[in-house]
Structure formats: C-alpha cells, structure tokens
Structure 1
C-alpha cells in the first residue's frame, strides 16, 4: 500500500503540474498575441514580444503554439485587450498586486473583487499597496546553469543588483535554480550579458518586488494561499505578487 500511495501522490503532483503548465501556456499565448499586435511580429524590433517568446521557450512551449500566437496578433484577429492592475490586501494584512490582461474590464474587476472578498481580503484602489513594492527585472536560470559562485560572478559582471540561489528540489520534485534581480531600465542589457555567460535563461520578467515582507502564520496562510490560487486560476490574471513571508515548515503543511 505504501508504494501505491506514493504512486498516487506522484501522479497527483504530475497532474497538478500539467494543469499549471497548461494555464501558463494560455497566459503566455495571450501575452505574445498582444505584444505582436501592439509592436509588430518582429521580435528583434519588439522588446515586449521578445521577452514573451523567451519566457515561452523557457517553459518549453511548442514552437507551433508560439507562431500561432504571433500570427494571431499580427493579423489583427483578436478582440481589444486591456491591461489593468488591481491592488488590495489579503489575510494578515498582506499586500497583493494583480496584473490582468482582459477583453472585459467589468468581468475581471468583478471576479477579482469576489476572490478577495471570499478569501479574507479586500480589494483597494490602484496605488493603495503599490508603494510597498519596487518595479524591477527578474532573470531566472535552472540549477544546471552553474553553481552559486559561478552564477553570482556572472551576475556581478553583468551589472545585476542582486542574485540568489536555491538548489533544493521543489514541490514537483524538480531541481531549483538561480534568481537574478536587476534595475527596471537595466533588464535588457543584463539579460543579454548573462545569456552570453550562462546561456538562455528559464525566464526574464519585470516584476513587483516587495520592499518588506509580512510574516504569516498557518491559520492566515491557508486562507491567503486560497486567495492567491483563486486569483492565479482566473483566465484574465497574468501575474500575482504579494509581500508575505512564511517559514518552510508552514508552507509544507499548506501544500500538503
């Protein structure tokens, strides 16, 4: 029975991972299409499209999927899309920023407000928590890119602001990796330097990085995770950022 139980647990993780990846592909396709529509289908002359395609490749998104998304945007065969940022507070006073890409602003606002309300939070006005975060660049590399010292040295040479490594295996039994933080304006240059030194990154993003973190216990953490999961599961939501801090033991319990 122990072996059977382990097998079921592995299959559950794989199923969850596949579902997450499918959702990521859908969100990336939407971003690629919008970037292609706004800036044209030539990635060399369209930084936003180049970034979206790089992230899609980092997640092993099929080339045919990427091409279809680019062509859809270039052909104008899509509804008008709106980029909206929502802000609010989750359980325990945790600040939350939600980035959405939607063809229906009323639907998105209603769904996101409901997610906050049903999961112990409260949506606020734009700017209500944004001042607690910095807009920065984030470059991620897999563990295979090199050891911590190698990546750190490359990051310093490239002009990055910070670098950290977590080479432990994560919840999906995959190796961890390296995270490099850059200034908002420096992202393109630093990413290019790092690619020359370490190869193609797993992802390159512009993110909201919290200036300070808020400790969250198991009680509040459970509700907070439900809020974040609900937001991330929404088709209109592209990214969710928060400033919570939770110890590894509590996080492990909540991930079950």
Structure 2
C-alpha cells in the first residue's frame, strides 16, 4: 500500500506484513519467478530480477527461498504457470483513487475477487485508466537515514539523473522517470549500497484526506486487496494523518 506519504504508509505496511509473513513471501517469490522468466536468471543482467531479489531481502526473505524462486523461473524449473501483469483501477471510500497491480494466472478469477473487495468495502472498480491519470508513474528508491546525509544523497541523485529527493527523519526517497529508473538505482547502489526499496510506483498529483470512518473502511479494503495472493501492490491518493493512522492500526 502506498498513499501520499511513502514513508508513513510503508511503516504501516511493514506492520501489516509482519502478521502475514508467509503470504508476503509467496508474493515476492512470484515476482522473482516472473522476473527470472522474463529475462536471464542472473540478477546482474536482469534489472527486474535484481529489484525483485532486493525487495525479498528487504523483507528478510530466506536466501534458499529466493534461490528456489529463481530456479522455478528458469527453463525446466518446474513453474509452468503463465502469469500476466494486470492493473485494476477504482475508487475507494471517501472518494480516494486506488491502483491495484497484480500477477495472475487467471484474469477472470482475479478481476472477480478485486471487484468483490471494492464492492464490499464501499468502493467501486472502474475501467483501465479511470484513475491513473491522477498519478505520475515514477521510479522510487528508498534509503535509510544512515545511508547518507541529505546533501550527499541529493548530489548523488542529481548526478545520476533523478528528478527529486525528499529527506526526513524516516529516510531518503529518490524519484526518477521510468526511463531513468534503472540507471539512477544502479548509480546510487554503487555509491551507498543496496536501497531499502527500489521499484516503479504511482505518485498522486493531488491527495484526498478521508474522514475517520472513510479511512477505516479504506484501510479494510486495502488489507483485503493485499491479502489476495494475486495482488502485488496497492497504491492510492489518500493522505491519512499520522495520528489517525496510528489510531486505526493500533
């Protein structure tokens, strides 16, 4: 899940993930397998695979589980499923816009489950591109505070071709165009080591602050979506205050 504040919602997401470790590992393994299928099984020569492995390590995914997922994605590795990347868009409670990205071997099943989740929790699933125009598609690279000073991160990101850097007590968020994402990530990794997270994401052009009731329903909807085995990530344009987020997730 991601909303207006990337760091704030990542903290909430980590809390949710801790309670669903096995399911999260399954999702990460699927992305690693699909990434290995899409190119070479060598992360040094396959940027998508490298990013998927990085995401797994950030969640303390066991090395043998990562290796097994890579093997499944190689010819003769045992995974014959044909996963498709699918994006769903719709509106959640309080007029919030949501983008759901999935990897599925059955589009009809996933579409039905995603639509049902929206309907049961006060939202409505729309057509493709019904809300994505409210977002920018960007590369987002996250580093902990200890990785560098704000000035050092800014200078390195600027030199690498990034568009923006935001630093605060939670860390550094570097954003780039989709086209420059790979080169920016590699340049920063060479200088500061592996980031906490590096992926393509959706950044809202404007945000919506839902009421407490709407925010509660929204978080339930997001939890149901993220609990779906096929759903990889849920992005939104909501802006929930730290106080309200803590109250609702306590």
Fold conserved between structures, TM > 0.5 = yes
C-alpha separation between the residues in 2 aligned to 1:130 and 1:85?
10
- Larger Rg computed on CA atoms: 1
Secondary structure of the corresponding residue to residue 244 of structure 1: coil
1:1-256 matched pairs, under 5 angstroms: 17-74=17-74, 75-78=76-79, 79-167=81-169, 176-256=170-250
Q: Deviations over 1:221-240 (max 9, x none)?
A: 11111111111111110010
Structure possessing the higher relative contact order (Cα contacts under 8 Å, 6 or more residues apart) = 2
CA distance in 2, matches of 1:17, 1:86: 22
CA contact (8 A) 2:17 2:24 kept: no
Offset at residue 19 of structure 1 (A): 2.5
Q: How many residues align?
A: 235
TM-score after normalising by structure 1: 0.86
Distance in 1, Cα, partners of 2:68 & 2:211: 44
Counterpart CA distance in 2 for 1:45 and 1:200 is: 16
Distance 1:223 1:124 in 2: 18
Please give the alpha-carbon distance, in whole angstroms, between the structure 1 residues aligned to 2:18 and 2:235: 22
The alignment partner of 2:213 has SS state of helix
Mapped contact 1:59–1:202 kept (Cα < 8 A) = no
Rounded to whole Å, the distance in 2 between the matches of 1:21 and 1:178 is 25
TM-score between the two structures when normalised by the length of structure 2: 0.88
Q: Deviation string for 1:144-192 (max 9, x for gaps)?
A: 213333323322232211112342xxxxxxxx32211111100111111
Partner of 1:10: none
What residue ranges of structure 1 are gaps of 5+ in the alignment? Answer: 1-13, 168-175
User: 1:11 aligns to what?
Assistant: none
> CA contact under 8 A between 1:164 and 1:180: conserved in structure 2?
yes
Contact 1:217–1:250 (8 Å) recurs in 2? no
SS at match of 1:184: coil
- Deviation at residue 48 of structure 1 after TM alignment: 1.5
Structure 1 runs of 4+ off > 4 angstroms?
14-17
Could you say which residue in structure 2 is the equivalent of 1:7?
A: none
For 1:31 and 1:123, how far apart are their aligned partners in 2?
24
Q: Is the 8 A contact 1:215 1:244 kept in 2?
A: yes
Task: Find the aligned partners of 2:243 and 2:19 in 1 and give their Cα distance.
Answer: 25
Identify which range, 15-24 or 105-114, moves more after superposition: 15-24
Q: Secondary structure at the match of 1:185?
A: coil
Mapped to 2, the partners of 1:25 and 1:162 lie a distance apart of 31
Q: SS of the counterpart of 1:24?
A: helix
- Kindly state the Cα deviation for residue 15 of structure 1 after the two structures are TM-superposed: 8.6
